[in-house]
């Protein structure tokens, strides 16, 4: 499932999916769920996850400056603090959205 439209509304990312469902993800949640190796860690061949120590994020870390589409499979947010290495596949973005709605 892929989005048909994505836009920032206030402090949320609004997503309209091809199936007609709409999702709203707080930008705070989106940044905290960043899937890049620096934020989420990296897994070795044995399944061990190596992650850097948690870092204190500035308020700019939660301000979305731009969101770019990556091919036909993902989006890449660019945050006000310069962080831009997280690529959110459609499946991952939907899981984040569903978890935000459930909890």
pLDDT value at position 55?
80
pLDDT tens digits for range 41-100: 998 899 888 888 888 888 889 999 999 999 999 999 999 999 999 999 999 999 999 998
Q: Is residue 30 part of a domain?
A: yes
Provide the 10 A C-beta neighbour count for residue 4. Answer: 11
pLDDT value at position 101?
81
83 burial level (CB within 10 Å; 0-12, 13-18, 19+): middle
Question: Which residues, at least 6 apart from 19, have a Cβ–Cβ distance to it below 8 Å?
Answer: 1
Q: Is residue 53 part of a domain?
A: no
Q: Is residue 31 part of a domain?
A: yes
Model confidence, pTM: 0.89
Q: Give the CATH number for residue 33.
A: 3.30.2020.30
pLDDT tens digits for range 25-34: 999 999 999 9
The rounded distance, in Å, linking the Cα atoms of 96 and 59 is: 21
Greater pLDDT, 101 or 6: 6
Count structural domains, the chain: 1
């Amino acid at each position: 499932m892929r989005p048909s439209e994505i836009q920032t509304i206030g402090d949320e990312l609004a997503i309209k999916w091809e199936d007609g469902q709409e999702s709203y993800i707080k930008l705070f949640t989106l940044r905290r769920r960043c899937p890049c190796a620096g934020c989420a860690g990296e897994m070795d061949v044995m399944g061990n996850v190596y992650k850097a120590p948690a870092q204190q994020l500035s308020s700019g870390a939660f301000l979305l400056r731009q969101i770019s589409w990556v091919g036909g499979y993902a989006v890449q947010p660019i945050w006000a603090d310069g962080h831009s290495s997280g690529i959110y596949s459609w499946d991952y973005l939907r899981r984040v959205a569903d978890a935000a709605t459930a909890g």
